[in-house]
Amino acid sequence: MILDLHNLAMEIGLQAMGIAPAISEVRKAFPWAESVISAAICYLPPEQACENDVPKGLIARFARSSDYHTVLRKKLDTLSNAIMITHPSAQTKICVDTSPIPERKIAALAGIATRGKHGNVFVKNCGSYAALGEIITNIPMTDFPRVSDNFDECGSCNRCAGACPTGAIIAPGEIDASKCISQLTQMSGIIPPELRKAMGNRIYGCDICQESCPRNADIQPTSPEFAESVFPGACPDLLPLLELTAADFNKTIKDSSIGWIRRTRIRRNAAIAAGNLKCLEAEDTLNSMLQDENPIIRAHAAWALGEIEHTK
Ligand code: SF4
Ligand code: SF4
């Protein structure tokens, strides 16, 4: 039986699929690897207007609808099963942000992506709103496309670096994670005070560099899996996030795409957002957070109250 992986990939709704050799970084983690199938889906959801009736947080586009990890893994499962049918002795390993392999470099080697100076990769018809996944296999697959590991398609543009509010894009494709708002919203612990204002009302992720990019200007949502907004959507109400109890977290957020950062980080980010929005409605809750048993919550609530106080 001849397996047409490319056709199958398109049939199951992957936006792109290519094959790369198992480079040394892959072999380090998976010594049996010979080839890597690199695949992409476009996670861009339809634009959602955020009404200003009550204070809102902001969620990055990759987390506004279905969890792309689940969607992509399911498609890669289908491809992997097809490989196992035609090659019963094959060994495969599916990765969707789960293995220490350089997925952007692999996608470029597989010919499905080009690099952007903002550190994300561009995939045809997705712009940089693309999620990558891989199937590592012990089957040698040839016909590797040419290497495309440069920033040629950005040309002299540097808009993303100029748009980044923290100066986190320090060189083409090189992001200082300690300054990147997307990373800050996800990391645990105390957010450096000097970076809190730049976070605005962001609760999870940051799209500023991608929004500034001319190569994303005409990109439209394409994947039906991301057509529906799923809680927390684009702009969740801020006060319920600040007041989030353990029971509420378990009931409403735990299984959402932001649930993995857990309750403390969500409340911490919501406190920073409340401070940046000068949110008078949050004062009572922030005051009660000063008594919280968690010092991270206390520290960020105090900072937010200081920001609100400055507006009076
Ligand atoms: S995600 Fe935000 S903070 Fe990070 S590099 Fe892009 S614009 Fe800068
Ligand atoms: S904003 Fe310009 S430099 Fe940055 S990724 Fe887009 S095209 Fe490249």
pLDDT, one tens digit per residue, over 190-200 is 999 999 999 99
Angle at CA 156, nearest 5°, toward 153 and 160?
85
What is the residue with the minimal CA distance to atom 1 of ligand 2?
Answer: 213
Domain that holds residue 256: 164-309
Q: Mean pLDDT, to the nearest integer, of 85-111? A: 92
Q: Which of 128, 206, 216 to mutate to test the pocket of ligand 1 (most atoms within 8 A of CB)?
A: 206
* CATH, residue 183: 1.25.10.10
Q: Does one domain contain both 267 and 139?
A: no
Identify the pLDDT of residue 153: 86
Q: How many residues does the chain have?
A: 312
Identify the pLDDT of residue 231: 87
Each residue of 147-161: pLDDT tens digit? 555 677 899 999 999
Q: Does one domain contain both 173 and 279?
A: yes
For the chain, give the percent of residues with pLDDT over 90.
84
Minimum mean pLDDT among 48-52, 164-168, 281-285: which range? Answer: 48-52
Catalytic residue among 97, 207, 218, 284: 97
Has residue 79 been placed in a domain?
yes
Q: Does one domain contain both 184 and 144?
A: no
For the chain, give the percent of residues with pLDDT over 70.
96
Q: List the one residue out of 160, 186, 185 whose CA is nearest residue 175.
A: 160
Count other C-beta atoms under 10 Å from residue 159's C-beta.
16
pTM equals 0.92
Identify the pLDDT of residue 1: 47
Identify the pLDDT of residue 312: 64
Each residue of 233-246: pLDDT tens digit? 999 999 999 999 99
| Catalytic residue list contains 284 | no
Q: How far apart are CA 188 and CA 257, in angstroms?
A: 17
Q: Which of 120, 152, 184 is the last residue of a domain?
A: 152
Measure CA of the first residue to CA of the last residue in the chain; give whole Å.
Answer: 74
Measured over all CA atoms, what is the biggest interatomic distance in the chain, rounded to whole angstroms? 74
